[in-house]
Amino acid sequence: MSTPFPGQVEALSIKASGPATQGGRISLSELARITSGFQATLERIAYSILIGYRRQGRLPKEIVDAVRIDFVGFREGSVVLDLRRPGIEALDDLFNASFEALVSGLKFLQGSPSELPPHFNTAVINGILTMCGGISQRNISEISFSAEGQTYFTLNAGMRAVLRAAQRGGSQQELTIIGRLHMGDFDPLSLRCRIDTHSGSVSCDLDDELRDDVLDLIDTLVIASGVAEMQADGSTVRVLHLSDIEELETSTSGSLDGLAHQQGILPVASIETLRGKPVDDFEAFMEIVRSAR
């Protein structure tokens, strides 16, 4: 649920709720995931507002400074992170314009996930999904963004499903691969693994809800599905955002004795049992053999 944007925001509170926040605690990896993802999303939207998507690379310093927001306090009550703008004058209303575009864009997607709202692109969608990466039944159930008692938007399992629908509707494509699963790095922003296929290795990231499945399937053949970000050549996967993974059932070979027992084959007691019936017309038989060559 969200409220209308008031026009000026100087301070924000981010509240994380769920089993992992009991006792007013939050892991450093989740803290980094939420705060870094939020800051990066504001910067991407601000860049779109001011310049557009044409220029790649690092964001100009003045844009980054204009949407900067600092961590100033921590409160219990699940977990509440207090943020405040540093008061930089350059491009001062860009922060509010970016935050308003984020709030209105998420509301727009809830009604029409097949169409991207203004200033949303693949990087923005993927960045918000990164913030949702810790949402699971055992970890964090929701993350809400509010100011002065009003909630602007909430990230939860429902919102994540909307974002995934938007992700599939963009330039990215759904993909299923088969290969051997290997673990990668667990960096603060994303859980990662690698799947080695017959055509090469595919880097994957995943949400917390798939973490145990991935750990259980390490070094096994798996079939994995998700949304793939492609390289510029259109044929190479840059990263696969996993949505499902399971072990691939393969045939297993048994011993010769075991196979013989399964097929009811008994040991040969006499060489005579291997003899076939006598051939009445041997020359006719050989003629058939010669004609088959």
The structural domains of the chain, with segments of one domain joined by +, span: 11-169, 173-247
How far apart are the C-alpha atoms of 233 and 251, rounded to whole Å?
Answer: 36
Local structure of residue 41 (DSSP, 8 states): H
Strand partners, 83: 12, 71
Tell me the range of 31-45, 57-71, 86-100, 270-284 where mean pLDDT is highest: 31-45
Q: What is the pLDDT of residue 1?
A: 46
Residue 288 has pLDDT above 50, yes or no: yes
Confidence label for 90 from pLDDT (cuts 50, 70 and 90): low
Residue 155 burial (CB < 10 Å; 0-12/13-18/19+)? buried
Average pLDDT, the chain: 83
Per-state percent for the chain, helix, strand, coil, to nearest 5 = 35, 30, 35
Confidence label for 212 from pLDDT (cuts 50, 70 and 90): confident
How far apart are the C-alpha atoms of 70 and 82, rounded to whole Å?
Answer: 8
As a whole-number percent, the residues of the chain with pLDDT over 90 amount to 33
Contact 79, 25 (CB under 8 A): yes
Q: Is the pTM of this model over 0.75?
A: no
Tell me the range of 7-11, 22-26, 76-80, 182-186 where mean pLDDT is highest: 22-26
CA 116 to chain centre: 19
Q: Work out the average pLDDT over 136-156.
A: 92
Q: What kind and span of H or E run contains 203?
A: strand 200-206
How far apart are the C-alpha atoms of 25 and 19, rounded to whole Å?
Answer: 10
- 111-135 as b/e, with b when 16 or more CB fall inside 10 Å? eebeebbebbeebbbbbbbbbbbbb
Confidence label for 114 from pLDDT (cuts 50, 70 and 90): confident
How far apart are the C-alpha atoms of 200 and 261, rounded to whole Å?
Answer: 40
How far apart are the C-alpha atoms of 9 and 93, rounded to whole Å?
Answer: 10
Local structure of residue 140 (DSSP, 8 states): B
For residue 93, give the nearest of 7, 14, 151 by alpha carbon.
Answer: 7
173-247 architecture in CATH? Answer: Beta Barrel (2.40)
